[in-house]
Every structure is written in C-alpha cells, then in structure tokens.
Chains A and B, each alone.
Chain A
Amino acid sequence: MSGFKLIPFKSRGAGFERLISPHLESLYRQAYRFTGSRHDAEDLVQELLTRLYPKLKELQKVEELRPWLARSLHNLFIDTIRSRQRSALGKSDPDSEAILEVVVDTTPDPAGAFDQQDQARQLALALESLSEAHRDLIIMHDVEGYTLPELTVIFEQPLGTLKSRLHRARKNLREQIKMEPFKKTQRVSG
C-alpha cells in the first residue's frame, strides 16, 4: 500500500505549517483560477508543498512570502498542468492576435444587461479566450487582488511591461464581453 505512512508524532513540520497555513486558502484559490478544476488545483498545491517542504530554511528567509509563493505556484502551473494542456490543445502565443474562433450567444440582449449568472458565465468565457499571459495577469491582479509591484515579483517582469500588458488584457477582455449585443462569431485572441 503506497501513499500511506505513519507520521512521527513529534513532527518536524510545525515550522513549515506555521509558514504555509496562512497562505493555503489563497494558493488553492489561485490554483483553481489557473486550472479551472478543483482536482487539478488541489494537485497543484500538493505538488508545490511537497517540493517546498525540504526547503524550509529557504522559505524562512523569504521576506514577502505571499508573492513568492504565488510565483512558485504559477511557475509550477506552467511547468506541469499548462504544458500538458498545451500539448493537448496546441501551443498559443500569449500576445498574438486572433487565433481562436469562439462562437458566442447570437441573441442580442434587448435590455442591454444580463443577470449575474450570465455575467459570470460570459466573464469566464471571455477570460478563457484570452492569451495565457493576459489571462494570468487579470487573474492575479483583478481577480486575486495582487498589486502591480507584487506582480513584478510573481511574473518577474518590469512594472511598466506589466502595466501596459494589463491595459491590453483588459481591453481584450472588454472586447470579448461586449456590453453591446454579441456578433454571431467573434474572433478573439488566444
């Protein structure tokens, strides 16, 4: 029977738990935002923690653990799950134009508004249609609330680059959502 072991009661992991526990909920949420699957999100967090556990001393030296952990999770996501998704779906250039055709609702909303469920569904669809770089940035900044200075640590990019990328990402997102009635078929960036 693999996967099951007795745990020494005097765990050496107390320090690890103290460091990581306050961030677990946030890590899971981010993982879910990236993967779109509870199962994959839990796996991703598990993999991260298992890799980090032997590096406790390193972790204890990190001054800003929140963005540091977020960067680690994001990198792990790219190295594992996204690479798997890419191989299944084909590669996409993060900043390229229009490589994916998405058919969206063809019925104009007469009131020009939609209820919250529709909005959530359309937002999720629009987010999914963005390039990976744009999607990740919006997830971290607009959904999870990381600041741009924090994101320079997470994405290892200069602030100016991230700011202009965020601007483009939001513009693309708004174009996908289209507050006005949808066209029959929209050509969106992938």
Chain B
Amino acid sequence: MLKIKGLQASIGDKQILNGIDLEVKPGEVHAIMGPNGSGKSTLASVLAGREEFEVTGGTIEYKGMDLLEKSPEERAAEGVFLAFQYPVEIPGVTTINFLKTAVNEIRKYRGENPLDAAQFLRLVKEKAKLVNMNDALLKRALNEGFSGGEKKRNEIFQMAVLEPTLAILDETDSGLDIDALRIVSDGVNKLRAPDKATIVVTHYQRLLEYIVPDYVHVLYKGRIVKSGPKELALELEEKGYEWIKNEAADIA
C-alpha cells in the first residue's frame, strides 16, 4: 500500500529526514518510535502533504500513485488521514459543518453523490457512538476551547467518519490520561480492517499496549535505525533511547 524509499525532507535549510525506507502493507499497524527531534512528526507531516517541508529526495508510492505529486486534499480524498499532534482550533467553523464539507468534498472527488442532511447525521451519530464523542462538542466551533483529550478524541472521530485507508496517528497519546488513552485506542482498534493500515507515531511505549503494532521502527536523526516486532517497543522502554543512540553511533 505504502512504499517509502530514500525519503529526504527539510524545513528551511535544515535537513530533517535523511533517507527513510518503509513499506506498509494492507492490514498492518506500524509504530514509529524515537527520541524527540528524530523526525517522527516530520515524516507524518510529509505523508499528509504539509507544504512547509520540502522533499529533497526519495519517493513515496501510495496505492501505486506518486503521493508527493498530490495536494493535501487529494491525499485525503485518496484515503490518507493524519491525526494531528496539535489539532488546530478554528473559531467560527462548527465541527459538524466542517465534517460535512469534508465528507462531501471527498465524495465529489471520488465521483459519488453528496450525502444529504439525514444521511450525514446518521453517519455522524453512528461514528460518534463508536468513539464516545459527545454530541454537544460537534455543534461547537472546531476544537475551540476543547480539552486536550477532547481534541484527540475529535481527531479519532473524524478518522471514523472519513474511513481512511492509511491512518497516521501523530503522537495521539501525548497529553492524554489513561482513560482518554483507552477510549482513543479503542476507537482506533475498532477501525482496524484487513484493507486498511495504520502508522502510529509515538514517543512512549504506553500507547502500544493498547494499539498493538505488527512492526516497530526506531527513528533517529532522520533515519530508521532499527526495525523489529512489537517486542522491540518493550526493549526500548526498558533500555531507553540512549541504547539506540549508542548503537547508531557504533554503526556510524
């Protein structure tokens, strides 16, 4: 589904990704771990098409397409979803109107008829239940005045409504207490399917107790320096990132 080869990216004149190789197949969950500043969020942003980052080398193939040629909205319509580390507050736009616009723009891109008000409400009710999203929040301005937990839940709720093929969760666990973490993880797990894939970007192993990955990759200085099964996350938790840093230094 997703093939990243030799991906390099920079912001301003600072190179952040130094050649990432990663392949994700349908049905898989990949965890990207790494110390702060290793490039995890940059990778997530580049996949979603954030324009501040300049891709200076490598390729990203998604469902056989050149993903880098697509605008952020085209990527979304093709099924790429980024759950933001810091969801943006947008005063004046209600969550419900925003989502209706998003759903129908994506349907338009795919050549489908727009959902009418009743169909859309049915969809929203069903998905809100799935992630325990409070109805009252939907009528409020997008993320405005939401708590950290509410914002993250809103991300997962949007993901449930948009049903992406490739979901990228960027530090979704940061700032969540254990209850919120469980609710968010439950939501993600309910959305797992054989034809869908998930990339979980996280600093801590904690989230991976709830969203169990098939593979764990460790990113350091803009490169994947170690990959392994889910147990690698536990090893990291025990030994800390110093271990990886030393190992990376040895290789160099």
A binds B: no
